[in-house]
Structure 1
Amino acid sequence: MQIAPRSGGPVPDIAALLARLAADGGRPRLTWYGDDGERVELSGAVLANWASKTVNLLVEEFDTGPGTHVVVDLPVHWRTAVWALAAWRAGATVAVPDADAVPPEVVVTDSPDRWAGSPADLVVVSLPALARRYDGELPAGAIDAASAVMTYGDAIGWVPEVEPQRDALVTAAGAVGHASLVPDPGPGARVLVDGRGAVADVLRDLLGIWAGGGSAVLTSPATAAELDLDDARLTRLLSTEQAQR
């Protein structure tokens, strides 16, 4: 299925990308297939709304902005995309665990035990779609993302100016700056994205798809592995979602 971009040409930054998504109405832009049959579909407007609320949390709670290092310690997931988009919109540097030599100021994780003793501000994310609070004991001072994000405004409030020369994404392979974070636009297709890729690679793939006006069908790593072993299920999914590999 071809999805025509709303406007042509490259997308210069995350702010422009989120503006396009927000103006996109009810078209699906991210469909998530998780474990145990979970399916979540987000339109462009809903995806941008989640990102906007999360931007407000990061800025208001942690003064996130250029120079802030945010470790996103989450697996491939639709919520991971939201947190990365929000951190980039605030001008922060997003790093995957153990890839950045700079100690993080903020850590976003679904496994707070891994960050016991860290001086970073901690945001604990519940991955299940229907989670309304973290199902466990929160470390002292940690923010429960499931309940906190929904209390913030739907429109982005004050946010610092992004500094294009700063690093936007840091991995063990190197860094990508804000000026070149959004890849060249894809062809505007609805694309099945294999969740077994590295988190940073999957995030860049999603950015390229959205920049071209396309739509992503994202699978969890376990679901991707199951689809590899079940041709009939894969064929049904591609047909149902009108997606291509």
Structure 2
Amino acid sequence: MALSPAPVAHVADLQRLIIRDPGRPRVTWYGDDGERVELSGAVLHNWINKTVNLLVEEFDAAPGTRVLLDLPPHWRAIVWGLAAWRTGATLVLLPDTAASGVVEQEEGAGVPALPELARDVDVVVTSRPAAWTGTRAPVVAVPLPALARRFDGDLPAGAIDAGSAVMTYGDQIGWVEEVDPEAVALEPGAVSHGELVTWATRLGDDVAPGARVLVQEGAASRLLRRTMQVLAVDGSVVVLSPALTTVLDQDPERLSRLRTSERVDL
């Protein structure tokens, strides 16, 4: 008889849970152009670890470090968000963003330029690095295509290309400072690290242990919250991009076929 998983209190516990069954899909991503990416427990675990190592070795990420995440709802946003929390850092999200690219400088609109939003952060993780030119914080450029080996575009001076850099780090965490449960894990919202899992599970609907859940979220914060909620009960997520979600809203038969092929429970 299989042992019941131990309660999940933090991302480290989440990682131990997902590698109990390392070959099982945990995150399945459908992109705008039919791209499908499947991360098993072992692969997701390795991606998180590599990203943690980059954050720690390049930016001394630890409790108190502020990591601004400027990525659209995407499987890479899941990896970077979980990795930042694994280091004990504070994940800072842009205000009122449905997806990357919503907050822009508009003349006379009273909207601050993006570099101004990074005045109090230690690193910016973004899929649009050119928009952050001029910021004092170091910039990490994240390519979104599944097979991208490097960022395809102009990089600000000193920016790190995550497409190539992440893969140079080890699959196991070399060292990470102990997480402070009282430290802030998420802004805005001031959610502490000790409250992360509780925050995720307060979404209002119950997820059965082991469930496979379809996730159609228009913001990275909601994607992270929903994913953590599902993974914390030993489940898995099938994530659709916002553009694909819009398409499938108009094509219920295609959506039904996807749900059947992916064995979606919820």
Shared topology, TM-score over 0.5?
A: yes
Contact preservation (8 Å) 2:5, 2:17: no
Match of 2:251 among 200, 209, 230: 230
Aligned partner of 1:201 in structure 2 is 222
1:65 maps to 2:82: no
Aligned partner of 1:178 in structure 2 is 193
Alpha-carbon offset, residue 102 of structure 1: 6.8
Contact preservation (8 Å) 2:212, 2:264: yes
Aligned partner of 2:53 in structure 1 is 56
Aligned partner of 1:104 in structure 2 is 121
User: TM-score, with normalisation over the residues of structure 2?
Assistant: 0.85
Q: Which runs of 5+ in 2 are unaligned?
A: 97-116
Q: For the structure 1 residues 36 and 6, does the alpha-carbon distance in structure 2 shift closer, same or farther, using more than 3 Å as the test?
A: farther
Alpha-carbon offset, residue 23 of structure 1: 2.9
Tell me the distance in 2 between the aligned counterparts of 1:66 and 1:94. 11
Q: Which runs of 5+ in 1 are unaligned?
A: none
Size of the alignment, in residue pairs? 238
Q: For the structure 1 residues 101 and 115, does the alpha-carbon distance in structure 2 shift closer, same or farther, using more than 3 Å as the test?
A: closer
Contact preservation (8 Å) 1:6, 1:213: no
Aligned partner of 2:212 in structure 1 is 190
1:125 maps to 2:147: no
1:140 maps to 2:140: no
Where 1:37 maps in the other structure, the secondary structure is: coil
Where 1:19 maps in the other structure, the secondary structure is: helix
Where 1:42 maps in the other structure, the secondary structure is: strand
Aligned partner of 1:214 in structure 2 is 235
Q: Percent of aligned pairs with the same residue?
A: 57
User: TM-score, with normalisation over the residues of structure 1?
Assistant: 0.92
Aligned partner of 1:152 in structure 2 is 169
Tell me the distance in 1 between the aligned counterparts of 2:161 and 2:87. 20
Alpha-carbon offset, residue 133 of structure 1: 0.6
Tell me the distance in 1 between the aligned counterparts of 2:118 and 2:151. 29
Task: Tell which has more relative contact order, 1 or 2 (C-alpha 8 A, sep 6+).
Answer: 1
